[in-house]
Structure 1
């Protein structure tokens, strides 16, 4: 029973037994205070009824999962024509839920034109069959359901996305900035019109992109005649939205297997508004689907989990 329903029930019971309800006794009585009941924070999870209804999402819990504490939630979105299983392996989430102590949820996109799965994120990407599916509503409802049925920390909800899933992660950050704490995007972009995204709360952003990406080019491009901005413009936009001042170089990261040395250059913005961080990781020599190193995967997840 939620707080509003609990209050209604207590007031109704008081009327039945003749206490309150407009009497002098009500005016003299102390107000009813409903305290946080604390743990358990959710029912026990058995997985028999999946999250997401007909678009069932995969749920990965750490072995130490308990409803007696709250857990960070990472929702990961796959790319166009891809799947939850693929993006799980690409980002390495199932392998990290235990030592990083978070819940991973991996939902599926809609199967559309050409039998390819997609997210309807922006004009450019990737509802090529003009289905008009409302993925923002689906994902918003998925957050609601996850926080009701799992012991999720509502202050630590994060999105990760690759390619089309990155576009969709950014859209969710724009539209649900009051609920999403941070996003990490690999090889994605945002809507061409900067006015489309006006978050009203701080959202931290990590943008990761290969400079030899030929699918979603580092410099930006177009899909179906609709433009999308490049990696540096995306990061600069978010830095402006978060009130950041200037970018400084961080330590390079060896984030991609098969490339020599620490190929990933890091830019980190300074002076952002409280609660916001913006970083751009440029993977020099990397293509659209790079094989990420364990170091790179963990660094991305750690960026998210550090945003509280």
Structure 2
């Protein structure tokens, strides 16, 4: 390309670049980004240079919360900020989600959010993660079940909540990871027949065509007051895996859990926070 043509191409791109920058400046952390009559919150990672593509974590809030909480929550936003990951937290209607059946309006909303974010920010399309806590976890499972392939979801990170495990999902994420407390009395631990503790990820083991061979990886922790136990199914179609972490506690986001998953998925040495 000649120098005059290159300059012309640059000048023609400036309005789009300026528009994207202006859009980014209009919403951040406590000020949600408007999307029709809906909205979502954004938190950029520390030290982002403003141009490099970023991995993306879409995190769905719990019941009677809003997206303003995850973008300021230590166990969520601290993990993304320190790992160069863009955090997106959609707002549910009436502070909840419509996630018990397939292809609800909230599933389309999630797809619309991803499209809108990609128009505002440079996204690493190979590293798009879905997460959520409690009802938000169920919503993340729902999106992965209905649109996981279409949205190119690298991994589902579910925390203390699942859809009906007998569902026949139309799609799937490329990898599934879930954590649940054995004494959860809000969304009870979904034990399988005969008290099977591996049942919470049975849907993804079937959908991702994993063998019955499980690998018990033992205990791990990010903080000294909480120990998690990990089981993996590593022999799944396409070389993917399914991971289940359990802990002896109740209904909460385990300290360091999201951080650990992002480190492993992004090929980083595990660190806390």
TM-score (norm 1): 0.69
Residue segments in structure 2 that go unaligned for 5+ positions in a row: 1-16, 28-32, 269-273
Q: 2:230 aligns with which of 233, 241, 266?
A: 266
| Secondary structure in structure 1 of the residue aligned to 2:109 | helix
Matches within 5 A, 1:38-77: 43-44=20-21, 46-48=24-26, 50-77=33-60
Counterpart position of 2:157: 184
Whether 2:179 is the aligned partner of 1:208: answer yes
State the partner residue of 1:238. Answer: 204
**Structure number having the greater helix percentage:** 2
1:72–1:153 Cα contact (<8 Å) kept: yes
Distance 1:159 1:269, change over 3 A: same
1:104-160 superposed Cα distances (whole Å, 9 cap, x missing partner)? 01111111xxxxx1111115xxxxxxxx96100111100111111111112211111
Taking structure 2 as the reference length, the TM-score comes to 0.77
Residues 88-99 of structure 1 mapped to structure 2, 5 A cutoff = 88=71, 90=73, 92-99=75-82
1:252 to 1:162, Cα distance in 2 relative to 1, 3 A: same
Q: Which digits, 9 at most, give the CA deviation of each residue in 1:246-274, with x for residues without a partner?
A: 21111412256744xxx211001121122
CA distance 1:138–1:202, change in 2 (3 Å): closer
User: After TM superposition, where is structure 1 displaced by more than 6 Å over at least 4 residues in a row?
Assistant: none
> The residue matched to 1:92 in structure 2 has which SS?
helix
Q: Does 1:248 align with 2:215?
A: yes
Does the aligned pair in 1 maintain the 2:61–2:69 contact within 8 Å? yes
Q: CA RMSD in A?
A: 2.9
Secondary structure, in 3 states, of the residue corresponding to 1:84? coil
